[in-house]
């Protein structure tokens, strides 16, 4: 009888307490203009009553939450509930936390498996409010739970970071502003859903974290629909900008949003990965960008990269298989209830459109452990990722008469797999998470399981005649320098050989450009045990006009043994280092106080720099804007290009000021400075 005696609360107005709730739920960096909360954690709404006052046990309020175009109790996209004595974090529930009175503090909680997205909350007959619900890696019941506060600060809340580029011999840390996306669920927008029906299998969006990652991978590239980025791997960027010009994800996502979801032009692998990382973190999924050096692109799923060279050691295109100088993807942290126990944790995902998976351009998620153990039957796309880090490389020489023969080459894939360390800009090597050490029993077992030959057998084929490529310490952009083919005869017999030593410009994904230097020695004599260093001069006047924006040169040394007719190939990609950008902070960094930075770059080239321009961006430093400073004068060789920029930090803590320099001869020189902001 007391139940029927309860009076329904009449609500005059309400306060969503966005600043308090968003701060409590660690979403305040997304803004405090709307309510953004995490599932499995209570949030508070203050209700101001029109008449009467709240009495425990004597007041009733019916609440309904809905999300999506067709809310359903069956799929968890709709729920109705009333007031209870205390919050139940396993389901939608509400409880009053204030004493009797005309103002009611209402605590509301979602279950830890509620679909993420935009929700509508109906407060009895009193009104309708909206809020955004995200994944909660701080909640033990959430599938993305991570039990380290330090790691969560890095993999969810960090707004800036480092992406590694360059080559495995010369790793270049590139700064990136991951930012915080103000409306993260907009990227997972409704118009993209229908194309995913075969993968989604009619499950509700985001009820399963796998479905969220499928959609995320699908919509970061635009190959199947109105995704965020259009890729381009040539030097023609008409209608857009070079991928190297981007310094962060926020500008890319803003451009996509304000231009009616038209693809942003252009991206390459690290840009695709960075945007996917930003959206993952904004949704509450722990995420990091990883770089795999000498990354294999296996197009025929045989776990072997077949390469063909001519009699000068230059690559000839006969196979679509490639070895990228490096390739970036992301790892997302989650449990995998669809797999047997033991395969939770980091999952590799690749948003760069390379090959189709189940009809669309996406790759993963696949557990790192599955790659390491050679479990290629596990979902999703295990063979492709396995080949990226573990494929064998078979090199063949194609003779002028059309015949081919296998030659000995020491090329390996899957080197120095790298990501940014937690809490610092140092590199963390995570190769051991993807593969066992070369030649170990565990590696052999993994390859047997993958029905693949052991790499060790091929590496032991050549123990007599060796060839390697060495570089000089003075190798940098703007200078003439030498590189060396080092030939060693470890046999007890003298050897007579032909040495062909060439160089070509190359892009990071393995596409070759023009010749940068070439040498053909017909008679190289080697006594038993002798080592010879053969130099190849790299002249700036020769390589300057051929370099791509990646500053990469491919060196190839081909050694032909006249006695045995065997051929040996050594290949190495070198990076020509750009000059350092120096950033000096003038004054003491304080929150909401104007600050100045002096930025300097010395011209290392033997030619003048014209049309010089610095651009600067920093999360919570430059107000979400890019600051541009152009130089009116020419910068002569050896002189400094120098500007002073002003900005106002809005949040305390360590922030990264990202700098980009462009001119007619030096394009997209990157630099950064960590700025610690005090309150």
pLDDT tens digits, residue range 340-369?
999 999 999 999 877 655 555 668 799 999
Nearest to 556 by CA among 504, 509, 507, 496: 504
pLDDT of residue 6: 67
Q: Would you state the structure tokens that stand for residue 20, as one six-digit string?
A: 């308090």
d(CA 134, CA 115): 8
Asked if 149-456 and 581-677 have one fold, the answer is: no
327 given a catalytic annotation: yes
d(CA 384, CA 373): 14
d(CA 600, CA 244): 20
Kindly list the strands in the beta sheet with 43-49, ordered across the sheet, starting from the edge strand earlier in the chain: 11-15, 43-49, 103-109, 93-96
pLDDT of residue 444: 67
Task: Find out whether the peptide bond into 365 is cis, omega within 30 degrees of 0.
Answer: yes
- Report CA-CA distances (Å) from 366 to 210, 286, 423, 471: 10, 15, 26, 38
Catalytic, out of 142, 225, 350, 660: 350
Q: Would you state the structure tokens that stand for residue 354, as one six-digit string?
A: 């390379």
Nearest to 9 by CA among 47, 43, 46, 42: 47
CATH T-level fold of 149-456: Coagulation Factor XIII; Chain A, domain 2 (3.90.260)
| Phi-psi group of 515: left, alpha or beta (phi > 0 → left; psi -120 to 50 → alpha; rest → beta) | beta
CB atoms within 10 A of CB 300: 12
User: 521 forms bridges with which residues in the sheet?
Assistant: 499
Residues 6+ apart with CB under 8 A from 208: none
What does pLDDT average to over the chain?
A: 87
Read off the pTM.
0.88
> Residue 476's Cα: distance from chain center in Å?
27
The domain at 581-677 falls in which architecture? Sandwich (2.60)
Rg (CA), the chain: 29
pLDDT of residue 461: 44
Q: Would you state the structure tokens that stand for residue 390, as one six-digit string?
A: 């573990």
d(CA 505, CA 548): 7
Binding residues for Ca(2+): 390, 392, 438, 443
d(CA 136, CA 346): 16
DSSP characters over 201-257: TTPPTTTSHHHHHHHHHHHHB-SSSS-SEEE--SS--TTS--GGG--BHHHHHHHHH
15 given a catalytic annotation: no
Question: What secondary structure letter does DSSP report for 593?
Answer: S
Angle at 567 between CA 563 and CA 573, to 5 degrees: 145
pLDDT of residue 224: 62
The CATH code of domain 461-575 reads 2.60.40.10
CATH T-level fold of 7-134: Immunoglobulin-like (2.60.40)
Per-residue pLDDT tens for 558-598?
999 999 999 999 999 999 999 999 999 999 999 999 999 99
399 given a catalytic annotation: no
pLDDT of residue 456: 45
CB atoms within 10 A of CB 177: 28
Residue ranges, the chain, pLDDT below 50: 1-4, 190-206, 452-462
Q: Where are the domains positioned within the chain?
A: 7-134, 149-456, 461-575, 581-677
Angle at 341 between CA 336 and CA 344, to 5 degrees: 40
Catalytic, out of 109, 222, 269, 287: 269
Nearest to 466 by CA among 452, 447, 486: 486
Burial of 350 (0-12, 13-18, 19+ CB in 10 A): buried
Residue 67 contacts residue 79 (beta carbons within 8 Å): no
| Percent of the chain with pLDDT strictly greater than 70 | 90
Cα diameter, the chain: 107
d(CA 149, CA 588): 29
Catalytic, out of 18, 142, 287, 327: 327
| Phi-psi group of 67: left, alpha or beta (phi > 0 → left; psi -120 to 50 → alpha; rest → beta) | beta
Return the H-helix or E-strand segment holding 448: helix 441-449
pLDDT of residue 260: 81
pLDDT of residue 319: 67
């Amino acid at each position: 009888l007391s139940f029927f005696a309860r009076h329904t609360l009449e609500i005059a107005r309400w306060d969503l307490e966005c600043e308090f709730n968003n701060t409590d739920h660690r979403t305040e960096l997304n803004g405090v203009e709307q309510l953004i909360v995490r599932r499995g954690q209570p949030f508070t709404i203050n209700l101001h009553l029109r008449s009467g006052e709240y009495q425990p046990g004597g007041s009733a309020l019916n609440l309904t939450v809905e999300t999506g175009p067709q809310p359903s109790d069956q799929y968890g996209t709709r729920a109705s509930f009333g007031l209870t004595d205390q919050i139940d974090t396993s389901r939608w529930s509400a409880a009053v936390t204030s004493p009797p009175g005309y103002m009611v503090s209402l605590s509301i909680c979602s279950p830890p498996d509620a679909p993420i997205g935009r929700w509508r909350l109906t407060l009895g007959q009193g009104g309708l409010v909206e809020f955004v619900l995200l994944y909660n890696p701080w909640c033990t019941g959430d599938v993305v739970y991570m039990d380290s506060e330090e790691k969560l600060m890095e993999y969810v809340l960090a707004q800036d970071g480092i992406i590694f580029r360059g080559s495995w011999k010369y790793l270049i840390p590139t700064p990136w502003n991951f930012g915080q996306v103000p409306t993260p669920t907009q990227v997972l927008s409704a118009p993209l859903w229908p194309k995913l029906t075969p993968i989604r299998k009619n499950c509700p969006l985001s009820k399963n974290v796998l479905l969220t990652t499928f959609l995320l991978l699908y919509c970061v590239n635009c190959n199947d629909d109105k995704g965020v980025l259009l890729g381009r791997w040539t030097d023609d960027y008409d209608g857009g900008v070079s991928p190297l010009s981007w310094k962060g994800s926020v500008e890319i996502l803003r451009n996509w949003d304000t231009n009616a979801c038209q693809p942003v032009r252009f991206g390459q692998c690290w840009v695709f990965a960075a945007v996917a990382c930003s959206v993952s973190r904004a949704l509450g999924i722990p995420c990091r960008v990883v770089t795999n050096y000498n990354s294999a692109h296996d197009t025929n799923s045989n776990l072997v990269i077949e390469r063909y060279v001519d009699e000068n050691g230059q690559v000839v295109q006969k196979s679509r298989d490639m070895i990228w100088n490096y390739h970036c993807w992301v790892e997302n942290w989650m449990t995998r209830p669809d797999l047997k126990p033991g395969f939770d944790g980091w999952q590799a995902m690749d948003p760069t459109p390379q090959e189709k998976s189940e009809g669309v351009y996406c790759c993963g998620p696949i557990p790192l452990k599955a790659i390491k153990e050679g479990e290629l039957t596990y979902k999703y796309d295990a063979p492709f990722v396995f080949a990226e880090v573990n494929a064998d490389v078979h090199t063949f020489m194609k003779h002028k008469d059309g015949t081919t023969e296998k030659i000995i080459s020491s090329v390996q894939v899957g080197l120095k797999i790298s990501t940014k360390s937690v809490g610092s800009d140092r590199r963390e090597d995570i190769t051991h998470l993807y593969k066992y050490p070369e030649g170990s029993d565990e590696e052999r077992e993994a390859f047997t399981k993958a029905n693949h030959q052991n790499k060790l057998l091929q590496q032991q084929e050549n123990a007599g005649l060796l060839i390697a490529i060495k570089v000089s310490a003075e190798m940098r952009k703007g200078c003439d320098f030498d590189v060396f083919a080092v030939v060693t005869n470890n046999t007890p017999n003298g050897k007579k050989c032909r040495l062909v030593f060439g160089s070509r410009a190359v892009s990071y994904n393995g596409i070759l450009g023009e010749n940068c230097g070439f040498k053909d020695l017909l008679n190289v004599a080697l006594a038993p045990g002798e080592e010879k260093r053969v130099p190849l001069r790299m002249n700036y006047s020769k390589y300057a006009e051929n370099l791509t924006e990646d500053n990469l040169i491919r060196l190839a040394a081909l050694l032909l043994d006249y006695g045995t007719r065997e051929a040996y190939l050594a290949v190495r990609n070198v990076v020509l280092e750009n000059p350092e950008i120096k950033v000096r902070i003038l004054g003491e960094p304080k929150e909401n106080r104007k600050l100045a930075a002096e930025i300097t770059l010395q011209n290392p080239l033997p030619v003048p720099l014209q049309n010089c321009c610095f651009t600067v961006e920093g999360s919570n430093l430059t107000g979400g804007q890019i600051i541009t400073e152009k130089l009116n004068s020419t910068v002569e060789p050896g002189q400094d290009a120098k500007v002073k920029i002003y900005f106002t930090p809005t949040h305390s803590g360590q922030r990264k000021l990202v700098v980009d320099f462009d001119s007619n001869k030096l394009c997209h020189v990157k630099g950064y400075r960590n700025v610690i902001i005090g309150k």
